[in-house]
Amino acid sequence: MKRFNSVSVFIIIISILSLAAIIISIKTSITMAEKRDHAVRNTAEEEITTPPANAGIGAAGPGKLTEHPLYFNGDRIDGINAFFTDQKEIFLPIDKVFDEAGIEFQVFNSDDMLEAGIGSRKLLVRLWEDKFTLGNNEIKLPFGAITEGESILVPSDMFGYIDGFELDISKDTGDVFLNYYPYIDDKVLDSVKMVRIVGGRARLTDLTGKKSIWSNSENGAFDDMLVTSGDKSLSVIKSNERIYIAKSRYSDKLPYRVDAGFSAVPSADGRYLYWVDFDGKVSYVYDVKNDWKRKLGDFYFRIRDEYGEDCPQGMGNVLYEYAVGEKHRRITLTDDNLESFYTFIERNGKVVVSGFSSYSPNKKSILLRVKGRGYYTSNPEGTRINFIGNNIANVQWIDDNRLFFETEEGYFICDRNGKNIENTSYYWQRVGQTENGDVFFTKGNTLYIQTNGTEKELLELPWECGFVYGISSEGPYIAVSRDDDGVFCIKNKSIKEIGKYSALLKNKKAQDGNVDYKKSFSISPDNNKVVVFQQGDDFITINLVNTADETIKNIILNCSSDESNVKSISHKWVSDELLLVTTHNKGWLISFKNKINIFSWVEPRGSIILES
């Protein structure tokens, strides 16, 4: 019995010890799991992946990383960011970038390696190694590739070795812009001619400036300068008291010298050069097409003699129109901003009517405000002059045949001859015109369009409209409201806000910052795309409106506040699918074919883009 009892006690003790060991083991496992979870959380919060012990030379981690927005081909894509180290080195997610760029790649987890085909070359990137292989070349990097979440981060230097990629960083915000244009070719490069100032001298080059087509070898005390007509069809280079035609609709020749005064500027329509001799009190005109020069007259001085201090600033600095017929001559002068106009119509050498003027939409009639006499209309030849009225205000063309004006008695509409006067309860305003000549106007806040003489109501607007831009009567239309500070896309009576009035490009010389609609809006040659340019403190935003499917897409370009001066922002359609945008210091060639791709560059020191 005693022996049995001893054995029983021994078994009980062993059982108790085993149970205790199991409990301790379970508790230890729970504690280790908690510690592991805590370590994983800490690693995720730091967003840094530590290299393994066997990673080898060059595997030192970059330290703490800070996220910054990444724009790829002008698009801010959710989930794709750039990462900065404390040393301002930039890491980019190569797998996500390649996905967006359409570059095929493979990730081999067992080998910690990414492999991609870049043209005919193979790209190999291994985690932790501070180098990568491209074709037969092994290239050194400041840090090795690391992982962040499910992405592979590589130093941004790597993209500088891969054809088609261009990296830019906002000086103001630190945002990163990565552009990719894989199929730029020599035909595109050669088809675009750019005027640059390099070392103070004018030069005609290809797109990027690497190929010089013409250069001015003359030395001068001052830098060369370029002046362009309002319609961009005529450009002249001024250098060392000489004038060169750089571009005109009449010639494909390289820049050539012409016999014009050094103060000459292109006419608004690009047909003439115009300048004023202040000593002789006479102005001159040079015909670009026919290569002749003649005296224009003293019209510049007549306006000042008549209006004195009331003459608008800069009036007469630019020739808006010059037309000569068998018995008549018509001269219209304007200011640098093309805002105020003054017309003289001569018949048989004598002025029959003159005054501040505005043309009808089809330019077949002219409204003139004659000092001390009131408002008149005239045909371009000055043979049919009609009195509209005196003591009237806000006189304006509504369409080719109707005028609106205001008196103390109210609002009125009349025909272009001053007849058929009708009272109206609405304030009428012409707000735009299509490429086909269709006219947009408003009665109060109701928008109308007149096509081939037929008036059609479009829709009631919830705000006062100041400007409408459209391709055709079918739409879509881009409407602007200054009071509501908005830019809107209108299609089938649906209104969608796409921007701000205050962000549209301003007139380059205006003192009050008036919007320059010609610079702010543009239609592609095939009429399938409308672009709206908006300028912020840090970026240029391009609103792309596809007229076929009515989709709207925003493209963001890095243009810091010192570069985005409105005087230097310019654009040009190279083709239906290629839009060139430049400032003095940067350029972007944007392709809309299939998907948006951007070829971008920064001008080298000492080079300034003047015109494309």
Inform me whether the pLDDT recorded for 22 exceeds 50. no
The edge-to-edge listing of strands for the beta sheet with 235-239 is 225-228, 235-239, 242-247, 256-258
303-323 residue pLDDT tens: 999 999 899 999 999 999 999
What distance in Å separates the CA atoms of residue 240 and residue 14, rounded to the nearest whole number? 109
DSSP three-state, residue 547: coil
The architecture in CATH of the region 66-180 reads 2-Layer Sandwich (3.30)
- 489, two tokens: 């896309």
Collapse the DSSP code of 366 into the 3-class scheme (helix H, G, I; strand E, B; otherwise coil) and give the result.
Answer: strand
Q: Give me 197's structure tokens.
A: 């100032």
Strand partners, 75: 72
Residue whose token pair is 């050669």: 190
> % helix / strand / coil in the chain, to the nearest 5?
15, 45, 40
> Which has the closest alpha carbon to 237: 247, 226, 229, 248?
226
- 202 pLDDT band, cuts 50/70/90, is very high
Mean pLDDT of 340-363: 97
C-alpha pair distances (Å), 257 with each of 216, 240, 279, 283, 399: 11, 12, 24, 20, 42
Burial-class residue 142 by CB neighbours within 10 Å (0-12, 13-18, 19+).
middle
DSSP-derived 3-state class of residue 70: strand
Indicate the SS3 state at residue 359: strand
Element (DSSP H or E) covering residue 12: helix 2-46
Residues facing 600 on adjacent strands: 588
129-154 average pLDDT score: 92
Question: Mean pLDDT, the chain, as a whole number?
Answer: 87
pLDDT digits (tens, 9 = 90+) for 423-435: 999 999 999 998 8
pLDDT at residue number 34? 42
- Residue 32 banded pLDDT, cuts 50, 70, 90: very low
How many Å apart are CA 310 and CA 317, to the nearest integer?
A: 16
Q: Which two tokens stand for residue 507?
A: 């007139």
Report CA-CA distances (Å) from 198 to 16, 214, 330: 92, 12, 41
For residue range 476-516, list pLDDT tens digits in order: 899 999 999 999 999 888 899 999 999 998 876 544 468 88
Alpha helices (H) in 174-225, listed in sequence order: 186-191
- Is the pLDDT at 54 greater than 80? The verdict is no
Give the residue among 397, 395, 332, 338 at the shortest CA–CA distance from 369: 395
Identify the pLDDT of residue 437.
87
How far is 82 from 603, CA to CA, in rounded Å? 24
- DSSP alpha helices (H): ranges in 447-597? 517-520
Question: Beta-strand (E) ranges in 45-104?
Answer: 66-72, 75-84, 90-93
Which amino acid belongs to residue 580? L
* Residues 324-332, mean pLDDT to the nearest whole number: 96
Residue type, 268: A
What does the pLDDT look like over 560-595, one tens digit per residue? Answer: 766 555 568 899 999 999 999 999 999 999 999 888
Q: One-letter amino acid identity for 285?
A: V
Residue 407 has pLDDT above 90, yes or no: yes
pLDDT band at 24 (very low <50, low <70, confident <90, very high): very low
Q: How many of the other CB atoms lie within 10 Å of CB of 348?
A: 8
Question: In the prediction, which pLDDT does 304 show?
Answer: 94
Cis peptide preceding 525, ω within 30 of 0: no
Buried b (16+ CB within 10 A) or exposed e, 541-578: bbbbbebeeeeeeebbbbbbeebbebebbbbebbeebb
Query: Among positive and negative, which fits the CA dihedral 351, 353, 359, 360?
Result: negative
Beta bridge partners of residue 146, listed in sequence order: 153
- Domain boundaries along the sequence of the chain: 18-47, 66-180
- Taking alpha carbons only, the member of 359, 391, 399 closest to residue 377 is 359
HSE-up (13 A, CA, CB side) for residue 451: 14
What letter represents residue 314's amino acid? G
| Mean pLDDT calculated for residue range 160-189 | 86
pLDDT of residue 316: 96
Q: How many CB atoms lie within 10 A of CB 67?
A: 11
Summarize pLDDT for 355-404 with one digit per residue, the tens: 999 999 999 999 999 999 999 999 999 999 999 999 999 999 999 999 99
